[in-house]
Every structure is written in C-alpha cells, then in structure tokens.
Amino acid sequence: MRKSNITIYSTLALMALLAACRMGKDYQRSDLALPAQFANTTAPSDSSVADMEWKKFFSDATLQSLIEHALQNSFDVQLAAKRVDEARAYANQAKVNWAPTIQAQLNVSSSFPSENSLNGLSLKNFLGKSHIEDYSLGAGLNWEIDIWGKLRRQREVASASYLQAYEASRAVQTAVVANIASSYYNLLMLDAQLAIARRNLNLGDSIVQIIKLQKTAGEVTELAVQQATAQQQTAAILVPQIEQQITIQENTIRILSGDQPGTIARSTQLSNYKVWESLPTGVPAAMISRRPDVRTNEMALVAANARVGIAEASMYPTISITANGGINAYQFSKWFNIPASLFATGAAGLTQPIFARKALKTNFEVAKLQRDQAAITFRQSAITAMGEVSNALVSLEKLKTQYQLTTDKVNTLRSAIGNAELLFKSGMANYLEVITAQGNLLQAELNQVTVERDQLSAMVELYRSLGGGWK
C-alpha cells in the first residue's frame, strides 16, 4: 500500500513539474526608444489634452449632438461592436479549454445475422432468437493534460484577440469623432465662403452700375463695362459651386452617421470657433499606451507571440486521458438492470508526432516570422503616431501665423477697395484698379476662412493623434 502511494505521489509530482513547462516566451514590450517629449513643444508636460472626454473637448452643443448621433448609428461603429462581441465569445470559450470534453451517447441497434453463420447459430441455440438487439447509454470523457502550456497559450491568443478587437473599436470611435468634427468645421467654412461670394456678387453689381454710368458720361468704354461684368460673374459662378459642395458635405456627415443623405441643421458660424491657446501633449510613452490603433497592433503582437508557443508545443508529446461508461444490455428489459448492465473503460495515451515533424517545425518557423512581422507593424504604428502628433503641432504653429497674415491682407484689401472706388469716382483711378482690388479681396477672404478651418482641423487632428476621442 505504501509503495502504491509513493507511485501515485511521484506521478502527480512529475505531472506538476511538466505542467510548469510552457513553450515560448511571455510577451514583453521591446524598447521603442521614444524621445522624452514631442518635437515642436517647448517642454514636456505630464497632462495631455487627449485625456479629456470628447464632450468637453468639443463644447458646441450642435457638434456634440452630431458626434453622439454618429457614435450610436455609424455603420463602422456597429461593425466594430459586433467584432468585439465575436472576439469576446471566443475568449470566453478559451477560458475553459483546460477542462475535459464530455459527450453523451444513446445507441439502439438490431442485428440479423445469417442463420448459417456462427453468430446466427449461436443466437438460435442460446437465446432462441434470430436477431440480437443492443441498447447502450453512456458518456465519454477526453482530457488533454496541458503539459507544455499549449492550452494556456491558446487562452492568451483568445484574450489578446479580444483586446485587439476592443482597441480597434476604440480606434473606430476616435476616427468617427474626428471625421464628424472636421466635416462640420468644413461645412461651416463653406457657409462662410458662400456668404463671401454673395457679398462680392452684390459689391460687383454696384461697381458695374457705377462703370455703366461712367460709360454713359463718356468717361470709359464698353470694355470697362465688360470687364466689370466678368468680375461679377466670377463671384456668381462661385455661388452654385459652393452650394454644391455644401450639399455634398452635408450628405457626407449624414452617411458617416448612418443616415440617409439630407441637410444638417446649424445655427453658428465659423468665426465663433477659436483654437485653444494651450493644448498640452503629454509625453510620447503615454501617447503610445493611449492610442487605440497602436494598442491594436500591440495586441496583435501579443497574440502572435503566444502562437509561437503553441507551434512549439505542438512538436512535443500530447498526453490525454479518456474514459467511457454507462449502461448496456442486449434486451430492453435488462437495460436498467443495475449493476449488471454497467460498463466502464479508461485509458491514458501519449502521442508523439514523428512523420509530421517537418510540417510542425515549418509551422513553428512561420509563427516566429509572423511574430517578427507583427513587431515591425507595431513599431511602425508607434513611429507613425509620433509623426502625426508632430505634424499636427507644426500645423497649429504655422497656421496661426498664416491666419494673422491673411487677416492683415483682408483688412488691407478692404481698405484698398474703398479707396479705389473713391478715386475712381473722382477720376483719379481707372476701372482696372477697382476690378483688381475687388478680385484680390474676394480671393483673400476665401483664403482667410480656409485657414480658419485648417486651424480647427489641425486642433482636431492633434486631439486624435494623441489618442483622444474614445472616452
């Protein structure tokens, strides 16, 4: 008895020792060699504007309503949510992959052997029957002992895949928030440009009337009237062009929101929005851990790393335990005659792949190559994220200067066109100077609102590139 106990304990100790073995290495993030601060920043800051909820970053009620509606109805968001549910289902399944597989079976059969066969003669002599019936109800168990950690690595893959889908859904949300905000600012820019075109159309009409009066007085020729009319027509052509772009932009926003094409209600102007004076960026390391698209690639790397362990473990022996039991009888009346009808079998087996070893080794090498590819993709996404933040920062910095210059230019040209009209009426300037001043003012005002929009879009891009928008 003591010898038997020693054997059992030794077997259990050996199994525990083997179970501690795990093929492959646990994932550890490699050093990305990130700088201490972003380029185009004066000093590193602990806080980041990306930590703000999008409802606080975008304070306008109309824009908040558009974003919230899009997050609830966008097809991209809905698809991402379904992918998360799918990955969660696989992750929950993988949590119990260590448990044995149990199956139940119910079999009823009837056999009619040849009367001239040994079975037929035996049945007739011993049972007095020409056929035999068999009734069986049983359950089978199959349990693979996770010696090399293959099942644990499979759980890691499922868990990482779930987190990958979850982070991807966050990335979709940040994209939707940024796209709706940028599209809305672009719509307000088009509204401002339409107002500029109409105002210049009215201004051109008054200039044409003045030049016509000058022609009647014999001070200018028909050429002056034609050129003034052509300048007015330039503004007139812009009106339907901008109206077309407004409709297309409204349709874009509604389609992004999962709606049919249609109009977008708005009660504000582009000039009412101002770029934040202070937009803290935090540190690059925090941005990498916050950005959902980068995190998605990292989770893909975690899964690829675990698959290497699975492929390696597949080359080693598999130990499995099987057991079957139930009730069996050759007559229905004896089926539940217990314990006489009970049966049970048990076995333990070890399977070592031999001829498939080349294929398994190939799978192992391919898994390592796929892990290397995932690592490269992760590093690439991190560097790309750094570049996007840097680009947004330099855009904000340079657009601020551009806006000041375009504003100064608009003010200068507004003064110039007023002076040109007075000088033309007094005969001290020709009609070409008036027309040129009007054309220059039209283009300068259009450029000014474009730069305003670009500033707001750069602010949105910085918020997105830092990892904001999913809270």
Q: What is the pLDDT of residues 140-198, one digit of tens each?
A: 777 777 777 777 888 888 888 888 888 888 999 999 999 999 999 999 999 999 988 88
Q: What does DSSP assign to residue 147?
A: S
The confidence band for 248, taking pLDDT boundaries of 50, 70 and 90, is very high
The confidence band for 106, taking pLDDT boundaries of 50, 70 and 90, is confident
Write down the pLDDT at residue 9: 43
Q: Which helix (H) or strand (E) holds 135?
A: strand 132-145
For residues 443-464, give the mean pLDDT: 91
What are the backbone dihedrals phi and psi of residue 119, each rounded to the nearest 5 degrees, phi first? -65, -40
- Distance, first Cα to last Cα, the chain: 65
Q: Which helix (H) or strand (E) holds 5?
A: helix 2-19
266/285 Cα distance (integer angstroms): 39
| Better pLDDT: 40 or 386 | 386
The confidence band for 309, taking pLDDT boundaries of 50, 70 and 90, is confident
Write down the pLDDT at residue 194: 92
The confidence band for 2, taking pLDDT boundaries of 50, 70 and 90, is very low
| Better pLDDT: 133 or 387 | 387
The confidence band for 7, taking pLDDT boundaries of 50, 70 and 90, is very low
Write down the pLDDT at residue 3: 45
Q: Where are the beta strands (DSSP E) in 96-205?
A: 101-111, 132-145
Ranked by mean pLDDT, the top range of 74-78, 86-90, 92-96, 235-239 is 74-78
What are the backbone dihedrals phi and psi of residue 74, each rounded to the nearest 5 degrees, phi first? -60, 135
| Better pLDDT: 84 or 208 | 84
Structure tokens at 143: 């349990």
| Model confidence at 378: pLDDT above 80 | yes
For residues 109-125, give the mean pLDDT: 70
158/164 Cα distance (integer angstroms): 10
For residues 367-394, give the mean pLDDT: 90
Q: Which helix (H) or strand (E) holds 187?
A: helix 150-216
| Peptide bond preceding 113 in cis form (omega within 30 of 0) | no
| Better pLDDT: 220 or 456 | 456
| Model confidence at 379: pLDDT above 80 | yes
343/324 Cα distance (integer angstroms): 8
97/80 Cα distance (integer angstroms): 26
Write down the pLDDT at residue 66: 92
Share of the chain above pLDDT 90, in %: 20
For residue 169, the number of C-alpha atoms closer than 13 Å in the C-beta half-sphere is: 21
The answer to whether 246 and 187 are in contact (CB under 8 A) is yes
Write down the pLDDT at residue 12: 43
3-class secondary structure, 53: coil
Ranked by mean pLDDT, the top range of 119-128, 323-332, 426-435 is 323-332
Rounded to 10 deg, the angle between the 222-256 and 150-216 helix axes is: 160
Q: Which helix (H) or strand (E) holds 253?
A: helix 222-256
**Alpha helices, H only, 278-356:** 284-290, 292-313
| Model confidence at 8: pLDDT above 50 | no
User: Closest by alpha carbon to 245, among 183, 308, 168?
Assistant: 183
Write down the pLDDT at residue 342: 79
Mean pLDDT of the chain: 80
For tokens 């210049």, name the residue: 200
| Better pLDDT: 92 or 356 | 92
What are the backbone dihedrals phi and psi of residue 304, each rounded to the nearest 5 degrees, phi first? -65, -35
Structure tokens at 386: 């750094």
Q: How far is CA 197 from CA 230, 242, 375, 447, in A?
A: 14, 9, 52, 12
| Model confidence at 315: pLDDT above 70 | yes
Q: How far is CA 51 from CA 48, 457, 470, in A?
A: 6, 19, 10
Strand partners, 324: 140, 345
For residues 360-368, give the mean pLDDT: 86
467/294 Cα distance (integer angstroms): 9
416/438 Cα distance (integer angstroms): 9
For residue 211, the number of C-alpha atoms closer than 13 Å in the C-beta half-sphere is: 27
The answer to which of 208-217, 376-385, 443-452 has the lowest mean pLDDT is: 208-217
CB atoms within 10 A of CB 424: 23
Write down the pLDDT at residue 139: 82
3-class secondary structure, 141: strand
For tokens 């525990």, name the residue: 16
The confidence band for 320, taking pLDDT boundaries of 50, 70 and 90, is confident
Ranked by mean pLDDT, the top range of 3-17, 98-112, 267-281 is 267-281
Share of the chain above pLDDT 70, in %: 79
- What torsion do the CA atoms of 203, 205, 208, 213 make, to the nearest 10 degrees? -100
Write down the pLDDT at residue 307: 86
Write down the pLDDT at residue 1: 42
| Model confidence at 407: pLDDT above 80 | yes
Structure tokens at 404: 């000041």
| Better pLDDT: 4 or 116 | 116
